[in-house]
Structures are given as C-alpha cells and as structure tokens.
C-alpha cells in the first residue's frame, strides 16, 4: 500500500487486493439509522454484494460494544470491516481494530460525520456504499489516550480537553436525536458568560496554559468548522490548537476567527505540531472527549501510534496531503 493509492479496478468492482469477505457493523441508534436501520443497512449491503463483496450484517449490542465486536469479527476471519454509524461508533470500531491488518471502511450515519466530511466520502450510506469499491487502502497512525481513572483507548480523529468536553457534558442526548448538530450549538451557547477552568499542556519541554485544547488528526471539527487546518490522517503527528482565557466570552472572538478561517495568528490561539502531549489540571476537574464522546478527566497523556490501522480512503483525499509548512 502506498500514499498514492493503487490503480482502479473495472467499473463497479472492488480494487485489486481488497478482501471480499466483509462484516458490516452498524449502530441502530445512530442518528441516520434510528427507526430505519434494517432497511438502510440492508440496502447498503445489497450494493456491496452487487459489487462483489460477501457481507454479513451485525448490529452493535449496546453502547461501548462496537470495538469488542469488531475485534471478534477479525478473530473469526473477517477480511474487511465496514462500519455504519456516527463518529463515536467509528471510533469504537477503530479502537477494536488497532494494530490489525484488516481494512476499515466507513458508511456515515451519525450526527456530525466528521470522518466522512474530512476524507470526502459520499453523503449518505447508500452513496458511500457504492463508493467503497473505488477506495484505496492506506496504513495510518492512530491517536492513543491514557487518562485518569485508568482509561486507555485509541482514537481516529481528535481528542479535546476543557470547553468542548464541558459542552458535551451539557448536551441533551434526546434533543440531539431530534435536531442533530443544532443540539451542540444549544449546549455551547449555554456556556456563554461562564467561567472556565484553565489547565496546562506540556509538549516538547514547553508548558502552555489554556481552557480548551484540541489535539487533532483531522482539519474538520464538528462537521461545521476547519480548526486544525494542516492536520491530515496520512501524517504521523497531531496538530495541537490551544485557546486561552478563563471566561467563555473570549470564545466569541475565537468563533469569529473560525467562521472566516483565520485562527492562525489570532491573539490567544496557539498552534503547533507534536507527536506527544501531556495535559494536567492540578487545581480543577477538567474533562476529556475523544471523537465526540466523553473520555474521562485530566491528567492525560496523548501520543501518536504509527502504523496502527488500515483504512479505505478516496484518492482525492489521499493526494491532498498538505505541505509540511510550520506555523
């Protein structure tokens, strides 16, 4: 496998070398599947079968179970794992597949679909299923989080500490199922005017102080913004973005910078690349999130684990690797 991809196979057929024996793991509670999982997953499976794949469909039995399910499917001989769900479900599956050689393909079916937006997958499960035969396998790094309370996990997209984890803690899950991403905005607006806990980020012998830290493998954030502008899944580094300020009103300025894509160089914003960071909050209880799901509290160590996962990507994304320019 190389970063330039491999030659396309005949129209409608999987690229040469892609395994044909696939397991489609789906989260029936995902935003795009709730109440209609069987029909939508069945349709996607038929598209894959018509393209030459053998497909077994398995629903996740409950929260936190997608990773162990993927690992079990690999032990039983699955050659390709296809996951249908939101970024949280995709994260669980990637964690369960870490350091295997089995490829992962994604059918976006959640609320934000950061991974799908990032790598330019077709919108909707059916269109994304039809795209899979044309995707190329790439070996990528994963993030690895070791947090307080003994929580250890890999992640595909990003880790965040401080404000965004706090917003997740105030998110109304029932409202999220009804209005989707708008529920995050409502939870975020509820933070305006509140004091924020500051904490320390240690990287390359330098210590920074902030109230929100984003340690990202992708440029897209939440499906709405581009924050870590030079992050890319084919790089083996994080892009770290730190926001200063102990009052959430400061974030109105930062929001403006996000909207016009001018965070770099803005007062109070620090950006750098790193392969390992350590976060600590000796005087406060500061939360963590990984790929949009709560992931414990600080302190935490976050590092790159190279050569950790094979993922199927569109050639357009694989060929869009940015230059190594530094901030």
Which among 80, 79, 81, 101 is positioned nearest to 92, based on CA atoms? 81
pTM of the entire structure?
0.86
Tell me if residue 287 falls in helix, strand or coil.
Answer: strand
Question: pLDDT at residue 41 above 70?
Answer: yes
Alpha-carbon span 143 to 309, nearest angstrom: 11
Alpha-carbon span 97 to 300, nearest angstrom: 22
Strand partners, 163: none
Domains of the chain: 21-134 (3.40.50.10330), 143-306 (2.60.200.40)
pLDDT digits (tens, 9 = 90+) for 255-278: 888 878 888 889 999 999 999 999
Please report the pLDDT score of residue 249 as a whole number: 82
Average pLDDT of span 185-203: 74
- Higher confidence at residue 168 or residue 92? 92
Q: Is the peptide bond before 254 cis (omega within 30 degrees of 0)?
A: no
Question: pLDDT at residue 180 above 60?
Answer: no
Alpha-carbon span 283 to 148, nearest angstrom: 15
The pair of three-digit structure tokens given for residue 22, joined into one six-digit string:
């696939």
Q: How confident is the model at residue 231 (pLDDT cuts 50, 70, 90)?
A: very high
Please report the pLDDT score of residue 62 as a whole number: 86
């Amino acid at each position: 496998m190389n970063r330039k991809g491999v030659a396309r196979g005949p129209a409608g057929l999987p690229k040469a070398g892609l395994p044909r024996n696939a397991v489609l793991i789906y989260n029936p509670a995902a935003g795009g599947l709730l109440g209609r999982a069987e029909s939508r997953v069945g349709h996607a499976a038929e598209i894959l079968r018509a393209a030459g794949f053998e497909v077994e469909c398995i629903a996740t039995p409950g929260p936190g179970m997608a990773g162990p399910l993927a690992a079990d499917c690999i032990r039983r001989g699955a050659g390709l794992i296809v996951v249908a769900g939101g970024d949280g479900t995709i994260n669980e599956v990637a964690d369960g597949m870490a350091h295997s050689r089995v490829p992962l393909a994604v059918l976006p079916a959640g609320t934000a679909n950061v991974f799908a937006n990032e790598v330019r997958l077709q919108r909707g499960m059916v269109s994304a299923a039809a795209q899979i035969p044309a995707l190329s396998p790439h070996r990528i790094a994963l993030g690895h989080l070791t947090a307080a309370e003994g929580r250890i996990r890999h992640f595909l997209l990003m880790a965040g500490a401080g404000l965004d984890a706090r917003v997740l803690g105030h998110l109304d899950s029932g409202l999220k199922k009804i209005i989707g991403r708008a529920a995050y905005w409502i939870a975020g607006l509820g933070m305006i005017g509140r004091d924020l806990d500051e904490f320390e980020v240690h990287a390359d012998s330098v210590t920074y102080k902030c109230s929100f830290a984003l340690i990202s493998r992708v440029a897209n954030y939440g499906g709405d913004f581009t924050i870590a502008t030079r992050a890319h899944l084919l790089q083996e580094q994080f892009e770290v973005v730190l926001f200063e300020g102990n009052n959430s009103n400061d974030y109105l300025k930062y929001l403006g910078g996000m909207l016009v894509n001018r965070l770099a160089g803005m007062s109070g914003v620090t950006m750098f690349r790193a392969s390992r960071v350590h976060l600590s909050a000796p005087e406060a209880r500061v939360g963590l999130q990984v790929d949009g799901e709560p992931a414990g509290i600080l302190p935490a160590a976050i590092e790159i684990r190279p050569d950790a996962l094979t993922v199927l990507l569109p050639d357009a994304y694989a060929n869009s690797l940015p230059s190594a320019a530094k901030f």
